């Protein structure tokens, strides 16, 4: 794919244009070496990818010994390139956690920690300004990372108001351009928008949430915000950790693959998800399509999508995933996908 043929969409009314396919980075520094990352970055940007998404806690699985390495690798590449002109560099501040005390003694979304996190990311990225700075997950007790059912927490922590005010201050200082959220709920998005409206604070331009054929929960509640409030989706895990390629069916564990190396990633491997995956893979093969490309092309076709964040550990995977931007699914195939979804909706939220 050439840069000219890569579609773009705008983040919010006042946000930047971003490529339909964005590049995720969370394997860099763990599964991928810096040299691997440089090859991926060169290949993706040559194909027209402009959005590159990182996070201060990357790579994953998160460890104190590697935290921040992904941003450092990206920063090294940007320095070699001569800067970030023509690109949209996104990263994230880590949400509240009791399991990552190597990040500021336990990350929180208060003003002091957000400022420190942003300045540390700028240093690692070797940038003066971050194009899109996102809250990685909420401070409060709510549903994210596959949680079902809502149980109110006894301590909701730092209010969204303080978080957004801190982000606004960084924007006024020219350290960030746009603000986004991640792993958010409809209530959280509504609260960010309410505070922006009532207090004259910056509006969020994007929501980075999981979205795939195995998890379409974004469609319930959040898709309407994308339509009515122009806060669109940055889809992560569009291949459900590679599960939708079919490579893990029947218990297969390819050498070096993520689910082979890291048993903690079990979100998309329950029995219901495997059954749905089998059906989607069979459908793709019936139509002489690569299952991963079909799964990505479905995400690309959604009107609320702004960018589809692909990740890869090899250039072969990356090139195949990039090619999904040129694939259009016909109406009969879309109907067949909906039939599978109706029979097994959201098996891996």
Q: Per-domain residue ranges for the chain? A: 3-243+258-269+293-328
User: Given this model, what pLDDT does residue 260 score?
Assistant: 59
Helices marked H in 14-143: 34-46, 69-81, 111-125
CA atoms within 13 A on the CB side of 163: 30
User: Given this model, what pLDDT does residue 263 score?
Assistant: 65
For residue range 286-340, list pLDDT tens digits in order: 999 999 999 999 999 999 999 999 999 999 999 999 999 999 999 999 999 999 9
Residue 73 pLDDT grade (very low, low, confident, very high; cuts 50, 70, 90): very high
User: Given this model, what pLDDT does residue 105 score?
Assistant: 97
Cβ within 8 Å of residue 150, ≥6 positions away: 142, 143
Residue 3 pLDDT grade (very low, low, confident, very high; cuts 50, 70, 90): low
Over residues 336-347, mean pLDDT:
97
User: Given this model, what pLDDT does residue 163 score?
Assistant: 98
User: Given this model, what pLDDT does residue 264 score?
Assistant: 63
Report the percentage of the chain scoring pLDDT > 70. Answer: 96
Please tell me the distance from the alpha carbon of residue 107 to that of residue 67, in angstroms, as a whole number.
13
Q: Which two tokens stand for residue 311?
A: 């990740």
Over residues 89-98, mean pLDDT:
96
Residue 247 pLDDT grade (very low, low, confident, very high; cuts 50, 70, 90): very high
Residue 268 pLDDT grade (very low, low, confident, very high; cuts 50, 70, 90): confident
Please tell me the distance from the alpha carbon of residue 220 to that of residue 199, in angstroms, as a whole number.
28
User: Given this model, what pLDDT does residue 154 score?
Assistant: 74
298 is catalytic: no
User: Given this model, what pLDDT does residue 2 score?
Assistant: 67
Over residues 32-48, mean pLDDT:
98
Residue 151 pLDDT grade (very low, low, confident, very high; cuts 50, 70, 90): confident
**112-116, 216-220, 258-262, 265-269: the lowest-pLDDT one:** 258-262
The alpha carbons of the chain give a radius of gyration, in whole angstroms, of: 19
Contacts of 36-40 spanning 24+ positions with Cβ under 8 A: 36/313, 37/73, 37/74, 37/77, 38/73, 38/76, 38/77, 38/80, 39/315, 40/312, 40/315, 40/318
Which CATH superfamily includes the segment(s) 3-243+258-269+293-328?
A: NADP-dependent oxidoreductase domain (3.20.20.100)
Q: What is the mean pLDDT of the chain?
A: 95
For residue range 109-139, list pLDDT tens digits in order: 999 999 999 999 999 999 999 999 999 999 9
Catalytic residue among 58, 192, 218, 248: 58
For residue range 158-197, list pLDDT tens digits in order: 999 999 999 999 999 999 999 999 999 999 999 999 999 9
């Amino acid at each position: 794919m050439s840069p000219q043929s890569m579609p773009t969409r705008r983040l919010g009314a006042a946000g930047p244009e971003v490529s339909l396919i964005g590049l995720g980075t969370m394997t860099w520094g763990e599964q991928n070496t810096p040299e691997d990352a440089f090859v991926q970055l060169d290949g993706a940007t040559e194909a027209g990818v402009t959005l590159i998404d990182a996070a201060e806690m990357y790579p994953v699985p998160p460890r104190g010994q590697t935290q921040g390495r992904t941003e450092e690798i990206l920063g090294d590449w940007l320095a070699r390139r001569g800067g970030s002109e023509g690109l949209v560099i996104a990263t994230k501040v880590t949400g509240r956690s009791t399991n990552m005390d190597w990040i500021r003694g336990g990350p929180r979304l208060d003003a002091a920690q957000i400022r420190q996190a942003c300045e540390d990311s700028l240093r690692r990225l070797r940038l003066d300004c971050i194009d899109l700075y996102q809250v990685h997950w909420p401070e409060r007790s709510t549903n994210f990372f596959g949680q079902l059912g809502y149980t109110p927490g006894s301590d909701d922590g730092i209010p969204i108001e303080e978080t957004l005010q801190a982000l606004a201050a960084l924007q006024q200082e020219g350290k960030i351009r746009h603000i986004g959220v991640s792993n958010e709920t409809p209530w959280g998005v509504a609260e960010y928008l309410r505070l922006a409206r009532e207090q004259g604070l910056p509006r969020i331009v994007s929501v980075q949430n999981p979205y795939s054929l195995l998890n379409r929960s974004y469609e319930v509640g959040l898709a309407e915000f994308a339509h009515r409030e122009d806060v669109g989706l940055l889809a992560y895990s569009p291949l459900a950790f590679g599960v939708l390629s079919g490579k893990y069916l029947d218990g297969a564990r390819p050498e070096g693959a993520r689910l082979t190396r890291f048993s903690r990633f079990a979100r998309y491997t329950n029995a219901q998800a495997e059954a749905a995956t089998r059906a989607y893979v069979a459908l793709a093969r019936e139509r002489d399509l690569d299952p991963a490309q079909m799964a990505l092309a479905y995400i690309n076709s959604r009107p609320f999508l702004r960018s589809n964040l692909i990740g890869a550990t090899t250039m072969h995977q990356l090139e195949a995933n990039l090619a999904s931007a040129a694939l259009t699914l016909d109406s009969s195939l879309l109907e067949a996908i909906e039939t599978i979804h109706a029979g097994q909706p959201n098996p891996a939220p």
